[in-house]
Amino acid sequence: MAYSDKVLDHYENPRNVGVLDKDDPNVGTGMVGAPACGDVMRLQIKVNDDGIIEDAKFKTYGCGSAIASSSLVTEMVKGKTLEEVGEIRNKHIADELALPPVKIHCSVLAEDAIAAAIADIKAKRTEKDSSEAVAS
């Protein structure tokens, strides 16, 4: 099956591969996996106090479409607010990369990974707020 030029571009030159400190209170980590293909995806975002995503990193073990989907997502989220990023749907990713129907699940994986990262940072901040409330 032929990959689109955009998939190939992200696959050959993946953006933002790497790792952020998952224990940093400003870092949200999302880990997801798809049993169908055995792909594993880790997506991390670094969020400043204004709720803006300053940095994003990913590491994906999987096919070209899964790598391209996560690479694209890290580009899409930088400079955006958590609210804006929460609107990202797999369809945006699949359309942008021109994924064929059999590879749509790779974009689902990326959507779920960013959602998990957002949930993680929100949980961290709620926890921090409540412990500060208790302390004061």
Active site residues: 37, 106
* Among 82, 109, 117, 118, interactor with other proteins by CB under 8 A: 109
Q: Does 121 bind other proteins (CB under 8 A)?
A: no
For other proteins, the closer of residues 32 and 47 by Cβ is: 32
Nearest one of 53, 69, 62 to 14, comparing CA atoms: 69
For other proteins, the closer of residues 2 and 101 by Cβ is: 101
Q: Does 33 bind other proteins (CB under 8 A)?
A: yes
Shortest distance in whole angstroms from residue 59 CB to other proteins:
7
Q: Does 59 bind other proteins (CB under 8 A)?
A: yes
> Considering only 36-44, 74-82, 92-100, 124-132, which stretch makes contact with other proteins by CB under 8 A?
36-44
Sign for the pseudo-dihedral over CA of 126, 83, 71, 111: positive
Rounded distance, CA 17 to CA 86, Å? 21
For other proteins, the closer of residues 5 and 64 by Cβ is: 64
Shortest distance in whole angstroms from residue 79 CB to other proteins:
26
Among left, alpha and beta (phi > 0; psi -120 to 50; other), residue 60 is beta
Task: Count the Cβ atoms, other than its own, within 10 Å of residue 111.
Answer: 19
8-33 burial code (b ≥16 CB/10 A, e <16):
ebbbeebbbeeebeeeeebbbbbbbb
